[in-house]
Amino acid sequence: MYPRIKESLRETAAGFGLPTYHEIPNVGLYLEQTAKYISEYLAPLQDGGITTSMISNYVKKGLVANPVKKQYSREQIAYLLFIALAKSVMSMESIGQLLALQKQTYTAERAYEYFRREFVNVLQHTVGCKDELETVGEEGSGEKLLLREVIVTAVHKICLDLTFAQLRQTEQEEAKE
Phi, psi of 83 (to 5 degrees): -60, -40
How much is the pLDDT for 83? 97
How much is the pLDDT for 95? 96
How much is the pLDDT for 86? 95
How much is the pLDDT for 174? 83
- The number of folded domains in the chain is 1
DSSP 18-50: PPPGGGS--S-EEHHHHHHHHHHHHGGGT----
> Which pTM value belongs to this model?
0.91
Tens digits of pLDDT across the chain (177 residues): 577 888 888 998 999 999 999 999 998 999 999 999 999 999 999 876 899 999 999 999 999 999 999 999 999 999 999 999 999 999 999 999 999 999 998 999 999 999 999 999 999 999 988 888 777 665 557 788 889 999 999 999 999 998 998 888 888 888 887
Which element (helix H / strand E) includes 140? Answer: none
Which residues are CB-neighbours of 130 under 8 A, at least 6 positions away? Answer: 121, 124
Phi, psi of 112 (to 5 degrees): -65, -45
Supply the range of the domain harboring residue 108.
2-176
User: In the chain, which ranges are continuous DSSP H helix?
Assistant: 2-15, 31-42, 52-60, 74-86, 92-105, 108-126, 142-176
How much is the pLDDT for 132? 82
How much is the pLDDT for 129? 87
